[in-house]
């Protein structure tokens, strides 16, 4: 089955710790995205990548980092510089970058909690 | 600032009624519009997309697009309790550097009463 997987489902971070969220897709999509969702709010774009070895900052990139070494994988690291990391993190992919008609499909999400 | 606006709700309708969800957007040049459903604690799932003015039907769902008035709506006929969720409107908008960016609304919570 084609789809997007994210792990872990829940992640606990201690203060000052970096943590990495995994996102893998087998849809052969070129573009991948990371969003953050806070309660009662819409999705905010953290980073996106159009092709391997290339990525751009979204609207709220501070305190986060990404890599895109393989087409299938787009891990997100939440660094200690992100002072309010508690949120629901969603990974998405699309065939190409958001052009006309490009639809994004989402993984199941990772809920990050701060201890 | 590119924006997509939705009424946060909750919108409450009785079972079997028509639920009407609305969304307005700021970029007149936008071409692609999407509706996602998000159950509590889950990720958004695509319901349907629409590109052309008018109506597009898929089962109990109908998307309506009016580019002149810059709004898109989603109608859910014969609403069921299982339709209770948050509905996100998304719009692919032009960006200054070229290309497009997907902007999501904050969502409308729908509650269908049995």
Q: How confident is the model at residue B31 (pLDDT cuts 50, 70, 90)?
A: confident
Residue A2 has pLDDT above 90, yes or no: no
Strand, coil or helix: A113: strand
Question: Is B88–A43 a contact, with Cβ atoms under 8 angstroms apart?
Answer: yes
- Mean pLDDT over all residues of chain B? 93
Q: How confident is the model at residue B19 (pLDDT cuts 50, 70, 90)?
A: very high
pLDDT of residue B61: 98
Q: What strands, in cross-sheet order, belong to the sheet with B71-76?
A: B4-6, B19-25, B71-76, B61-66, B54-58
* B111 alpha carbon, distance to own chain's centre: 15
Q: Is any Cβ of chain B less than 8 angstroms from the Cβ of A102? A: yes
pLDDT of residue A37: 95
Q: Is any Cβ of chain A less than 8 angstroms from the Cβ of B52? A: no
Provide the Cα torsion A63, A67, A73, A78; round to 10°: -20
Residues in chain B closer than 8 A to A108 (CB atoms): 42-43
More confident residue, A103 or B89: B89
- Cβ neighbors of A69 (< 8 A, separation 6 or more) are A52, A53
Contacts A–B by Cβ distance under 8 A: 57
* B30 alpha carbon, distance to own chain's centre: 15
Token pair for residue B70?
Answer: 């810059």
Q: How far is CA B1 from CA A3, A62, B38, B40, B101, in A?
A: 33, 19, 25, 29, 12
The residue in chain B having the minimum alpha-carbon distance to the alpha carbon of residue A5 is B43
Which is it for strands B11-14 and B108-113: parallel, antiparallel or unpaired? parallel
Best to test chain A binding among B44, B46, B51, B63 (most A CBs inside 10 Å): B44
Distance CA B106, CA A43 (A): 7
Find the mean pLDDT for residues A28-40: 92
Q: How confident is the model at residue B97 (pLDDT cuts 50, 70, 90)?
A: low
The residue in chain B having the minimum alpha-carbon distance to the alpha carbon of residue A88 is B41
Nearest to B43 among A42, A99, A108 (CB): A108
Which range (A36-40, B35-39, B77-81, B92-96) has the least confidence? B92-96
Residues of chain B with pLDDT > 90: what percent? Answer: 80
Residue A96 has pLDDT above 90, yes or no: no
Q: How far is CA A81 from CA A17, A37, B63, in A?
A: 9, 18, 42
Residues in chain B closer than 8 A to A90 (CB atoms): 43-44
The residue in chain A having the minimum alpha-carbon distance to the alpha carbon of residue B34 is A103
- Mean pLDDT over all residues of chain A? 92
> Around Cβ A25, how many Cβ atoms within 10 Å?
21
pLDDT of residue A27: 94
Residue B49 has pLDDT above 70, yes or no: yes
């Amino acid at each position: 089955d084609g789809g997007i997987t994210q792990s872990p489902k829940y992640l606990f971070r201690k203060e000052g710790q970096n943590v990495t969220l995994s996102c893998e897709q087998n849809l052969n999509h070129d573009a991948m995205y990371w969003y953050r969702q806070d309660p009662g709010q819409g999705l905010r774009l953290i980073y996106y990548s159009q092709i391997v070895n290339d990525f751009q900052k979204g609207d709220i990139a501070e305190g986060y980092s990404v890599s895109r070494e393989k087409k299938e994988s787009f891990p997100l690291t939440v660094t200690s510089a992100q002072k309010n990391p508690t949120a629901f993190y969603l990974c998405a992919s699309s065939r190409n970058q958001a052009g006309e008609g490009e639809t994004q499909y989402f993984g199941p999400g990772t809920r990050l909690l701060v201890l | 600032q590119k924006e997509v606006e939705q009424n946060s709700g909750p919108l409450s309708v009785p079972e079997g009624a028509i639920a009407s969800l609305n969304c307005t957007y700021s970029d007149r040049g936008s071409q692609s519009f999407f509706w996602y459903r998000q159950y509590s604690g889950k990720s958004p799932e695509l319901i349907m997309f629409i590109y052309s003015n008018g109506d597009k039907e898929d089962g109990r769902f109908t998307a309506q697009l009016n580019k002149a008035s810059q709004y898109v709506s989603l109608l859910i006929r014969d609403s069921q309790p299982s339709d209770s969720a948050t509905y996100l409107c998304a719009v692919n908008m032009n960006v200054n550097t070229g290309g497009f960016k997907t902007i999501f609304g904050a969502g409308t919570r729908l509650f269908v009463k049995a």
